[in-house]
Amino acid sequence: MEYKLIVSDMDGTLLGDNHKITKENKIALSKALQKGVKIVPASGRIYNSAREHFDFLDINTPLIACNGAIIKETKTNRLIYKNSIPNDICLKIIDVFEKNKIYYQLYSENTMMCKNLSKEDKKKTQERLKNFFNDDINIHFGDDLKEEVGKHQILKIIAIDDHDMDKLKRVKSELNEIEDIETTSSWFNNVEIMHKGVNKGEALKELVKYLGIQREEVIAFGDNYNDLDMLKFAGMGVVMGNADDAVKKQGDYVTSTNIENGVAKAIYKFLEV
């Protein structure tokens, strides 16, 4: 099969442990681009945070952000697709989080809104975000994020707990009672919520129609549960060696880990660049 589109997750896939695209992955992507293959990032991150990593390619490419809730072009900022969470549903989700006293964040197109639980939590969050965002990303800290729902179109909501898995399980169970939402996870410590029908796979369906490409001509890369719909839709779903075994079983091919340049190795194998 001659692949015409590479679509790849970022954290745990294209990015190394320093949260930057590895040198070998950059080289492989550049070679694929020179061969005429389109390159599309597909991230759970907000749009601006994902876009900054692809400046080295110097191309105008669609970018899937917020787990598929939005697709925009990186140079022109042209909007291709957007599916936000209705305000009333956002408020129901926040009620679940407040009841369970769990830390959470709201994502709009270019802003991350973080719940303040304590001064210590704020400091920890600021340190955590330094690994993911540059100074150009809008980050808002607040005690009452319900006020922000009316000011922004919320694309994704995420709850995080590094220690209390029982609390996280309880939150997931209560979220299941809310209609018209989609839930997934990008790491063991979180639950991510989008509007019903939003996931990377559905975004990829929209994208191939937009680009005039067949699904069989797509090779997709991912490492976690929020990548599964995308991996299944693509003609070739490549799972990273650092993924959970349950994720690996649902891919077409397992490559090396993200720190071993697994994306580059699979590109060389399947695209012959």
CATH numbers and ranges of domains, the chain: 5-82+199-271 (3.40.50.1000), 87-194 (3.30.1240.10)
Would you state the pLDDT for residue 200? Answer: 97
Quick one: tokens of 88?
Answer: 């009333």
- φ and ψ at residue 127, rounded to 5 degrees: -65, -40
10 Å Cβ neighbour count for 75? Answer: 11
Q: Return the SS3 of 6.
A: strand
Which amino acid, residue 86?
Answer: P
Q: How many whole angstroms separate alpha carbon 215 and alpha carbon 199?
A: 16
- Sign for the CA dihedral angle at 24, 77, 46, 171 comes to negative
Closest of 175, 160, 213, 170 to residue 85, by C-alpha:
175
Q: How many CA atoms lie within 13 A of 133 on its CB side?
A: 20
Which amino acid, residue 135?
Answer: D
Would you state the pLDDT for residue 52? Answer: 82
Is 95 an active-site residue? no
Would you state the pLDDT for residue 250? Answer: 95
Mean pLDDT by 10 residues, the chain (273 residues): 94 91 95 96 90 86 96 94 97 96 91 77 65 66 89 95 91 95 90 96 97 97 96 98 96 97 97 87
Q: How many whole angstroms separate alpha carbon 182 and alpha carbon 175?
A: 10
Would you state the pLDDT for residue 139? Answer: 82
- Residue given tokens 């997709």 in the structure block: 220
CA terminus-to-terminus distance, the chain? 14
Quick one: tokens of 151?
Answer: 């000011």
Q: How many whole angstroms separate alpha carbon 41 and alpha carbon 54?
A: 8
- CB-based burial label for 263 (10 Å; 0-12, 13-18, 19+): buried
Q: Nearest 5°: CA angle at 72, between 269 and 28? A: 20
Would you state the pLDDT for residue 180? Answer: 96
Would you state the pLDDT for residue 67? Answer: 95
User: Would you say 142 and 106 are in contact if contact means Cβ atoms under 8 Å apart?
Assistant: no
Closest of 33, 16, 24 to residue 271, by C-alpha:
33
DSSP lists the bridge partners of residue 86 as: none
User: Would you say 110 and 48 are in contact if contact means Cβ atoms under 8 Å apart?
Assistant: yes
Q: How many whole angstroms separate alpha carbon 129 and alpha carbon 256?
A: 27
User: Would you say 114 and 141 are in contact if contact means Cβ atoms under 8 Å apart?
Assistant: yes
10 Å Cβ neighbour count for 60? Answer: 11
